[in-house]
Each structure stands twice: as structure tokens, then as C-alpha cells.
Amino acid sequence: MSASIVVLTDFLAVANRALSYAAGLAVPLQAHLVLLHVRHDGLLAPAEYRRHYLQREERKTVHALYELAAHQPVMTDVDISDEFLSEAVKESVRQHHPLLLVLGRPGSATAPQEIIMSAAMDLLRQVPHPLLVVPTVGWQDAALPRRLLLAVDGEPFHLFPHQDVLHRMLQATQGTLDVVHVTVPDQVRPDAAKMLSTLRQTGLTEEPLPLDRLHEINQSDIVGGVLGEAARQQADLLVVVARRHCLLGSLFHRSVTAQLIQESMVPVLVFPAED
């Protein structure tokens, strides 16, 4: 059985741009797709949108899902769940063992972006699996991500098992990986060689990265520093390691991970860390 990529659909329709992006990745990764549709989720189906879950609308949605699956460039399954989002995704991970999960991030004024963002952060807390968040508007998507930028905080970390998708992606796309670290004023800059060595020890990269691939930024705005470097590098995929204490923060906007997901102009691949 080939590897899989699970694409989460929203309550209005499948996020076609996120699906298209996932399908583009699936080809070189030799993976198949799973379209996961959660029927009645409290996060992705708040009260003001429940009309979309009328039985006749549900039949249309299911039909549309199978139509989409039939037209993908790789084998695509449809998975429909009556569980709430986190439980549905947990079961999908147990069943399909995906390389990553994919979620579309709306960008229009009428789309409930705050709900999707809340769903993304809840998934990272509840389901420690690589999550790719794809903006559905506002960016020029390439066929494949080839310029990847990894944001790190300079501290050691440990990833959950089976999170080898980054080096598989680099191999499959012939992409490059750079690393960015933002040091705030009055903070001691970590040892560069040790920082890069840690990445290899965690399994994120198979080959050692040269020192010129590490970009040190000194400024108080961590999010701005990372996004600024992503723009300078013309990165087409931002990779973030999310620590548990950041994901459990009581105030959403205090999380650097959340802000990067929300503000990035390119897709963001998040790896939850054990610590």
C-alpha cells in the first residue's frame, strides 16, 4: 500500500486549492489521497452554518466528494465521519498512517478564517501529526515546493515518530532547505553548528546542512523576522516546529506558530514536538 495524504474538507465544500496542492505533492511522493469529510463538527460547523448540513445538502456534498476523488491525478479515497474533528482525524491517522494532514486556510471576508485557525491549533494539540496549512487565496502557487525555509527557536526538541515527510519531500522535489532563527535583542545567540546538528538528530534532515544555510535575524518581532526571511528567500513552503507549551497557550495570538500559520503568504508545514 502506498503512503497517504489526508486532506480535510470544510463544511461548505472541499478546499479545492488545498486539494490541488496536496495532489501535486502526492505524485512525486508516490502517495494516494484521502478526502476526510467530518459531517457535524462543532469547530468546522458552528451554529450559523448548520443549514449546510441538511440532509439534501449532505447528499450533494458526498456526491461532490466522490466526483472530486475520481478526477485526481492519484488514487483518492473518500472517508466520511460522524465524529467531531479531532476524533475523526485521530481515527483517520490510525487507519491510513498518512505522511501529513492538509487543511485549507480561507482568506476571503466571508470565510470563517478564525474558525479554521482554531481548528488547526486544536488538531496540533490533539493529533501530534505533521499538518500542512494551505492558503486558499493570495499566493502564487508553484507546481511543487522547491525552496523550503525551516524556522527554529534554537533549543533542542524531539519529534513524534514517523515524521520523515520533510526529507522525503526534499528528495522527491529536488528542493532546497534553509533555516532561519530569530534572536530577540539581549538574547544570547545559540551555537549555529549545534543548532544544525540538532536538526539531523531529530530526523528532520538526513544530510548535514552547511552553515551558510542558516540565517540569523536579530529583531524583537519573531513572526516578522521569519516571514521577512521567507520573502527574502522567496520560499514557497515554510516549515515550523511547534512546541507543546506554545500550542497550549491560553491566548491564541501569543502563539508564534498560530501567527505564522495565519499570516504566511505561502503554505506552512507544522511539526508538533514532544516537549
Residue 229 vs residue 122, higher pLDDT: 229
- For the chain, the average pLDDT equals 82
Q: What is the pLDDT of residue 273?
A: 85
Domains of the chain: 3-135 (3.40.50.620), 147-272 (3.40.50.620)
Q: What is the pLDDT of residue 112?
A: 57
Kindly tell me if the per-residue pLDDT of 40 is higher than 70: no
Mean pLDDT of 144-160: 87
Kindly tell me if the per-residue pLDDT of 52 is higher than 60: no
Q: What does the DSSP assignment read for the chain?
A: --EEEEEE--SSS--HHHHHHHHHHHHHHTEEEEEEEETT-TTTS-GGGGGGGSHHHHHHHHHHHHHHHHTSSS-EEEEEE-S-HHHHHHHHHHHH--SEEEEEE--STTS-HHHHHHHHHHHHHHS-S-EEEEESSSS---SS--EEEEEE-SS---BPSS--HHHHHHHHHT-EEEEEEEEPTTPPPPPHHHHHHHHHHHTS-SSPPPGGGEEEEE-S-HHHHHHHHHHHHT-SEEEEEEPHHHHT-SSGGG-HHHHHHHH-SS-EEEEEB--
Mean pLDDT of 205-234: 90
User: Among 70-84, 169-183, 197-211, which is the least confidently predicted range?
Assistant: 197-211
